[in-house]
Amino acid sequence: MTADISPGEAERLDAEDELAAFRERFVPISDPGVVAYLDGNSLGRPLRATADRLQELVAHEWGGRLIRSWEERWLTLPEEIGDELGRVALGAAPGQTIVADSTSVCLYKTLRSAVALRPGRDELVTDTANFPTDRFLVESVAAELGLTVRWIEGDADVAAVTGPRTAAVVLSHVDYRTAAITDLAAVTRLVHERGGLVVWDLCHSVGSIPVELDAAEADFAVGCTYKFLNAGPGAPAFLYVNARHHEAFGQPITGWMGAADTFGMAAQYVPAPGIRRALSGTPPVLGMVGVQEGVALLAEAGIDRVRAKAVALGRWVLALADAWLVPLGFTVASPRDDDRRGGHVTLRHPDAERLSRVLIENGVLIDFRRPDGIRIGLSPLTTGFAEVRRAMDRIRELAG
């Protein structure tokens, strides 16, 4: 049976959307030439509440209270926001998640720590198609510590390459190109059976699909906040360290904020207890405001409702692509199984790079991923079904 992709069906889906009202909580797109914003999986749209909160912070917390705000409000933000993020989106009990640094720095900290927790093991494992930061840092840490990198082609190969020499495995929960979801719990269990540890990259899953780190007995996780959490360009990342590792967790960038007595100015470094030892430098307070507001909005919307809409949007894109774009030479690169697809759909086309530029010039803001992928980002709190239909219709027009 052919799927109904009519304008009326788009209107019906938007009318029945439980999350539709949340679109009004975001700053309106000021460019009248934008037909659709389908790149929220790279940079989420700004929240009105973030703009208001920043103004309040500059005028009152910074402008009025001045340096007193560090003690009154700011010093505990990394842990407070981390705990709420853990509760709302990561399935993590308090005291295990903290907001700090960039994803790259957080990944370096956790990977170095994972290796230190497995002395005598000399191999790291990662995917050849993993995000560049992950691959580059695995190679960098391996070179720094004299380790060997074992490369795999997808998570199915984890069983084949892990063993008594495996110190740590670094994988993305959701593939940044295809949106394929890796079974986090199953892979973690397998690596643990081999005696290794896992560092999970959650950049393309946090805020889009439910994650259950504690239930999976995960070791470490990192992720950014400027995609589905809408925290803003360059907003600070987060890292998770399971409580069972805290006592032995020795992160390599030992700055003053991670010390037991931050203002003691001690002669030697003594790590703070718990997750705070993962901090290094001064927290980026202005950037953390966006994280705080993004997490608050996600808590209000509910991660299960967000996931349900992401699935529905993905189905909608697939139906439109099958009807309009596959006949024009496009192929679907993302899993069709809802349970295996994250928050975007990738379409392949032989002329994708040129076509991506044309689409952006004509108001369809998507993302190109080499060599031939066009990513349709589906941010459930800001993306509507009629908006997606307009975009897919414009793609059909420009590619025809």
Instruction: Tell me whether residue 269 is one of the annotated catalytic residues.
Output: no
- Clarify whether 337 is annotated catalytic: no
* Residue found under tokens 């405001």: 289
Catalytic residue flag (residue 131) = yes
Q: Is 375 a catalytic residue?
A: yes
Q: Where are the alpha helices (DSSP H) in 321-372?
A: 352-361
Strand 197-201 with 166-172, pairing: parallel
Work out the angle between the directed axes of helices 303-320 and 7-15 (0-180°, nearest 10): 180
Residue spans of beta strands (DSSP E) within the chain: 36-37, 97-99, 123-127, 148-152, 166-172, 197-201, 220-223, 238-241, 331-332, 344-348, 364-365, 367-369, 373-377
**What is the number of other CB atoms lying within 10 angstroms of the CB of residue 31?**
8
Based on the residue annotation, tell me whether 37 is a catalytic residue of this protein. Answer: no
Q: Which of 22, 26, 176, 226 is catalytic?
A: 226
Q: Among residues 109, 112, 150, 227, which one is catalytic?
A: 227
Burial class (CB in 10 A: 0-12, 13-18, 19+), 188: buried
First to last CA, the chain: 25
Catalytic residue selected from 37, 131, 220, 385: 131
Q: Which of 201, 219, 367, 372 is catalytic?
A: 201
Question: Choosing from 150, 369, 375, 389, which is the catalytic residue?
Answer: 375
Cα(158)–Cα(155) distance, rounded to whole angstroms? 5
For 387, half-sphere exposure in the C-beta direction (CA atoms, 13 angstrom radius) is 25
Which residues are identified as catalytic?
131, 201, 226-227, 375
